[in-house]
Amino acid sequence: MNRIHSFVALLVGLTLVSSVSAAELNTQNVILITLDGARTQEVFGGLDLDILKSVVKRGKVEDRPAYRKYWAATPQERREKLMPFFWGTWMKKHGHIYGNRSLGSTATITNQHRFSYPGYSEILTGQAHDDVINSNDNKRNPFPSVLEFLKKKLNLPPERVAAFSSWETMNWIAEHQEGAIPINAGFEAYQHPDAAIRELSQLQFETLTPWGSVRHDIYTFRFAMAHLKKHKPRVLYLGLGETDDWAHDGQYELVLEALHQSDDRLRRLWEFLETQSQYRGKTSIVISTDHGRGNGPADWRDHGKDVEGAQYIWLGIVSPDSAKRGEQSNGGTVYQNQIAATLCRFLGVDYSEHNLNAGKPVE
């Protein structure tokens, strides 16, 4: 009887997926965005005064530019100063977000490592593989990504699925089969017919930077936008990294600036999408992070399996096929491993046909 029940359940599930696929979904394109290591504390609460005080060694905190620019009396005011577009436009008018634990909403990773490669692999494959994905080394991901799956499932030419990341290791994370999709990551030249973009590509190698494997986000963003404008991809991944790297360097004020600049790039991306008939009202966006960080002045710079708080993330969705708006409350827990299936769901595709063990779509 158990086998019969399982078979019936499978048939029902397939019927539901088929009906969803056949439904009149507005979404025809999906964009995945990650802000590396961006803590829930800043995303939901803006400037963390305890941390700012801990990093200011001379003078008064109140005299710091970051304090004058981002401090306000309430978490809601602070986060809107820090990320005005994200909170003022996206979350109020077009999207919703999970992960504010003070409201009873939790978003968390399922891998046990709490650092980048395992987090990005969980996002892109829909499953944690703790025994295999256990370092940040430049090693080929043994598991195909949702980007590869959608390219094949939707029969898309190479340019219509693309990934741009500030971290070079994304070249190994985002695809199981090398060359399956266009990836531009780390200090990598970007070929484009526009002379201004080619010059920008050269400038990334001339820009002084404290990091050897992560380029500044402005280059990643500009290359992704150039690709978006020229090739009109249906599936795009944009991975920004400075929120993590400035944190590791202990530069809290630059972490805030990186979040603020990322917010402005989200605005510029959205404004372009709204001018294009292919994208306007037809694009679902999922935005999240690969891991969290420590909770306070002693450990905010760090993450990893022994850092409490690093398991908590946030997950935002902006979609014409979701009526939810703003912060979600008392909604239980959503997981990082649900992101891949959620992207597919918006396109009317069942990700479980690629990976039965992947997390199910959010909502």
DSSP of 167-219? BTTHHHHS-SSTTSS-EEESS-----SSHHHHHHHHHHHHS--S-SSB--HHH
Contact 240, 31 (CB under 8 A): no
Cα 243–chain centre separation: 12
In a domain, 1, yes or no: no
Which alpha helices (H) appear in 40-145, and where do they start and end?
A: 40-45, 49-55, 65-70, 75-82, 84-85, 116-125
Contact 4, 325 (CB under 8 A): no
Give the residue numbers spanning the domain of 207.
Answer: 27-353
In a domain, 363, yes or no: no
Q: Rounded to a whole number, what is the distance in angstroms from the first to the last CA of the chain? A: 30
In a domain, 65, yes or no: yes
Tokens of 121: 């692999």
In a domain, 61, yes or no: yes
Residue 177: per-residue pLDDT: 94
The CA distance from 117 to 309, in Å, is 18
Phi, psi of 96, rounded to the nearest 5 degrees: -145, 165
CATH number at residue 117: 3.40.720.10
Instruction: Calculate helix-pair angle for 195-206, 217-231, nearest 10 degrees.
Output: 160
Element (H, E) at 4: helix 2-22
Residue 22: per-residue pLDDT: 36
Residue 11: per-residue pLDDT: 39
**Distance set, CA 58 to CA 54, 64, 231, 280, 298 (Å):** 11, 10, 50, 49, 19
For the chain, give the longest Cα–Cα distance.
74
Domain count, the chain: 1
Q: Which long-range contacts (CB under 8 A, 24 or more apart) does 356-362 make?
A: 357/126, 357/127, 358/125, 358/126, 358/127, 359/110, 359/126, 359/127, 359/335, 362/98, 362/315, 362/317, 362/334, 362/338
DSSP E strand stretches across 225-295: 235-240, 283-288
**Distance set, CA 40 to CA 65, 93, 107, 259, 301 (Å):** 22, 21, 10, 12, 13
Instruction: Calculate helix-pair angle for 116-125, 146-153, nearest 10 degrees.
Output: 20
Residue 216: per-residue pLDDT: 98
Tokens of 103: 């409201």
In a domain, 238, yes or no: yes
In a domain, 135, yes or no: yes
Grouped pLDDT means (10 residues each) for the chain, 363 residues: 38 41 81 98 98 94 96 98 98 97 97 98 98 97 98 96 98 96 97 95 96 97 98 98 98 98 98 98 98 97 97 98 94 94 98 95 90
Ramachandran region of residue 281, left (φ > 0), alpha (ψ -120 to 50) or beta? left
At 12-37, the pLDDT tens digits run: 344 344 345 536 899 999 999 999 99
DSSP3 helix / strand / coil % (the chain, rounded to 5): 45, 15, 40
3 state SS of 15: helix
Residue 331: per-residue pLDDT: 77
In a domain, 126, yes or no: yes
Residue 17: per-residue pLDDT: 42
The CA distance from 42 to 248, in Å, is 16
In a domain, 216, yes or no: yes
CA atoms within 13 A on the CB side of 171: 15
Cα 37–chain centre separation: 10
